[in-house]
């Protein structure tokens, strides 16, 4: 069973305008959408949809926190969140004509004691794996992730920014950077697939058993004891790349939970990601379609 930890979740608000935005004008939106957001939360939704046992935990506060909890429960995701003072952040994307504006809040300031409360929630689930995803709120350092990794007899997976990855000092089963995060965390040249695999190797020397790197249109690499596995991206019509990395990781984890080897897990991850990017907005995976796509994924050793 997998527990996801989201230290700094968000409600993602997407607002659409038919005309360009301009200062000192009242802009009236054509449409607005609200979604529960955060890497761990996104992963929990995907894992649950793929019938992989999962519990979502993290820090929630205020009316936005209530929205996230209720949304997950409506989606059938089991939850075990810790309530904090303040209000969970609201991140806004405004799309006006051909322009896109992103306005992200930093989240409520919390103290180190929330890590102890989260560890209690995680331990209560007796997980095989714990996924810590997303950014850290004000008041917490990367040590908050290291404490989760050292807090129990589980494999810890981390999906966070390159600046945090550089500071981690624990033992981890997997990290999942994208290409930019891989370069940021290592300083390596990641312009080629081989360069990305080389950069991933350096992570293994720093306490990560495996490294899963999402490379966009170039596919993905999984570096570990099974070698340097490379999966090419499928030739599909991409509609929306939001959530592609979360889908890749969720597919890999669901396959591992089912007992798959690394090659099969990578195929599954690319298949899930490929399905998600063919749809706009939040997409619930179709298990039959994933199986069809997985058969078309090519994996080779670098």
Which residues are identified as catalytic? Answer: 246
Closest CA to 228 of 240, 213, 247, 216: 213
The DSSP symbol for 29 reads P
* Alpha helices for 126-178 (secondary structure H): 143-149, 162-165
The DSSP symbol for 228 reads E
125 to each of 19, 116, 172, 256, how far by Cα in Å? Answer: 49, 15, 19, 18
Question: Given 3-state DSSP classes, what are the helix, strand and coil percentages for the chain, each rounded to the nearest 5?
Answer: 35, 25, 40
Query: Using CB atoms within 10 A of its CB, is residue 23 exposed (0-12), middle (13-18) or buried (19+)?
Result: exposed
Cα–Cα–Cα angle for 88, 91, 96, rounded to 5 degrees: 160
Q: Taking each helix axis as running N to C, give the angle between helix 193-204 and helix 179-186, from 0 to 180 degrees, rounded to the nearest 10.
A: 50
Tokens standing for residue 85:
């003072």
């Amino acid at each position: 069973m997998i527990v996801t930890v989201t230290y700094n979740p968000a409600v993602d608000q997407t607002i659409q305008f038919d005309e360009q935005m301009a200062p000192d004008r009242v802009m009236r939106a054509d449409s607005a959408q609200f979604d529960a957001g955060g890497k761990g939360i996104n992963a929990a939704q995907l894992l649950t949809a793929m019938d992989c046992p999962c519990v979502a935990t993290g820090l929630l506060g205020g009316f936005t926190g209530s929205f996230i909890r209720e949304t997950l429960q409506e989606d059938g995701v089991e939850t075990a969140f810790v309530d904090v003072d303040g209000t969970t952040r609201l991140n806004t994307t405004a799309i006006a004509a051909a322009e896109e504006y992103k306005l992200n809040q930093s989240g409520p300031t919390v103290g180190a004691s929330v890590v102890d409360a989260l560890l209690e929630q995680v331990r209560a689930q007796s997980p095989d794996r714990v996924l810590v995803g997303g950014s850290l709120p004000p008041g917490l350092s990367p040590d908050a992730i290291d404490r989760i990794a050292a807090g129990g007899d589980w494999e810890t997976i981390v999906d966070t920014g390159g600046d945090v990855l550089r500071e981690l000092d624990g033992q981890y089963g997997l990290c999942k950077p994208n290409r930019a995060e891989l370069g940021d965390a290592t300083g390596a040249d990641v312009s080629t697939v081989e360069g990305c695999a080389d950069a991933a190797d350096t992570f293994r020397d720093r306490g990560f058993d495996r490294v899963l790197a999402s490379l966009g249109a170039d596919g993905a690499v999984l570096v570990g004891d099974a070698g340097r596995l490379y999966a090419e991206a499928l030739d599909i019509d991409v509609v929306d790349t939001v959530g592609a990395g979360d889908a890749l990781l969720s597919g890999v984890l669901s396959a591992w939970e089912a007992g798959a080897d690394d090659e099969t897990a990578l195929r599954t991850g690319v298949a899930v990601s490929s399905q998600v990017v063919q749809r706009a907005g939040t997409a619930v995976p179709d298990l039959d379609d994933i199986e069809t796509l997985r058969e078309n994924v090519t994996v080779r050793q670098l």
